[in-house]
């Protein structure tokens, strides 16, 4: 009679120089992101995801209409990972646009600063727990360690540029700017050519 057992996990990747004790979520928005991520996954997979992020195993990150795709080098190959948050509905966006135009946070947003009270201003949370994630690996976990690695790398990106949270909710930079300053058009001036 044979015994069922779980195979040993692959060794954790070695972190790159200077990232052994790297923390994720150093700014208020980064901390919020990491806080939400850590409520939706199990500790073991999240821990391995942090190890993959510290080892810089996440690469080829692409943002496209609220979706983020990346490659993650795992212990048994390279996997394709995709993450998205539920986009704001048209009704939510129209309501938010009216609230944003009242001017309370316009200056901050135009300076690429995301005020901590933005959720109160727009009336909905900017970071939602409704993540949709896919990975080409065979792990059934949600999130698997590869998706978790991308979550932590996104936490770093949010620390640097928190305005990408709007993009993750389906709001383009152009749409946001249009609400904040109105649509702009630049006309090329025709140069007069001297006769001569």
Residues 84-123: pLDDT tens digits?
988 999 999 999 999 998 878 999 998 989 999 999 999 9
How do residues 180-193 score in pLDDT, each as one tens digit?
A: 887 554 444 444 44
Which residues, including other chains, have CB under 8 Å from residue 50's CB and lie 6 or more apart?
Answer: 24, 148, 149, 152
pTM: 0.82
Can you say whether residue 177 is alpha, beta or left, with left for phi > 0 and alpha for psi between -120 and 50 degrees? alpha
Residue 4 has pLDDT above 70, yes or no: no
């Amino acid at each position: 009679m044979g015994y069922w057992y779980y195979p040993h996990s692959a060794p954790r990747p070695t972190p790159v120089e200077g990232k052994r004790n790297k923390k994720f979520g150093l700014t208020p928005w980064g901390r919020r992101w990491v806080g939400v991520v850590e409520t939706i996954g199990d500790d073991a997979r999240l821990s391995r995801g942090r190890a993959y992020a510290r080892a810089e195993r996440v690469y080829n990150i692409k943002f496209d209409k609220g979706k983020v795709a990346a490659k993650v080098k795992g212990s048994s190959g390279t996997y394709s990972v995709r993450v998205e948050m539920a986009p704001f509905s048209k009704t939510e966006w129209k309501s938010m646009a009216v609230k944003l135009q009242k001017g309370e946070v316009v200056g901050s947003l135009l300076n690429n600063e995301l005020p901590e009270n933005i959720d109160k201003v727009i009336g909905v949370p900017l970071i939602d727990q409704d993540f949709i994630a896919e990975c080409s690996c065979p792990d059934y976990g949600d999130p698997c360690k590869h998706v978790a690695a991308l979550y932590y790398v996104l936490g770093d990106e949010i620390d640097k540029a928190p305005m990408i949270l709007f993009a993750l909710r389906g709001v383009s930079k152009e749409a946001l700017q249009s609400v904040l300053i109105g649509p702009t058009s630049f006309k090329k001036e025709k140069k007069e050519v001297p006769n001569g």
